[in-house]
Amino acid sequence: MSEAFPKPVQAAGRSVVARWRILAQQRLDHLTELYESGRWKLYHTESDFLAMVHEARTVLKVWQDLAPPDAALDKPIEVAIAQTDATGESLPGSLAKPGLLDRVETQYDFRKS
């Protein structure tokens, strides 16, 4: 039972882990912005804020170990779709359109404008 998962499942798993890593990075960025602006003093004591920053750094390190940043895979889906439309190549497994939506038509297609 030690079979490897098929490619789409692995890609989807990386996608989930990468999104959590990105969320952890955004949390640390938010705390950094609070510190730089001084607004942290309105909401937290110094010891609580330092504990939050330490926790955010630790959590980010864990997520980076699980899914190291990869510029090719971590771009927004809109950018990935636009780039693949321009080059004519197919989308990677994690970015492929779900089969359930193949029969659904959009009312407006904003890409035409």
Per-residue pLDDT tens over the stretch 93-105:
544 545 555 555 6
pLDDT, position 27? 96
**Averaged pLDDT, 48-52:** 97
* Residues 21/65, Cβ–Cβ less than 8 Å: no
pLDDT, position 48? 97
Residue 12 phi/psi, 5° resolution? -65, -40
pLDDT, position 1? 46
The total number of structural domains in the chain stands at 1
Dihedral sign computed on CA atoms, order 14, 79, 23, 98: negative
Please give the mean pLDDT across all residues of the chain. Answer: 75
In a domain, 105, yes or no: no
In a domain, 51, yes or no: yes
Nearest to 95 by CA among 107, 85, 110: 85
Range of the domain at 45: 8-66
pTM greater than 0.75 (yes/no): no
In a domain, 40, yes or no: yes
In a domain, 12, yes or no: yes
In a domain, 27, yes or no: yes
pLDDT, position 43? 94
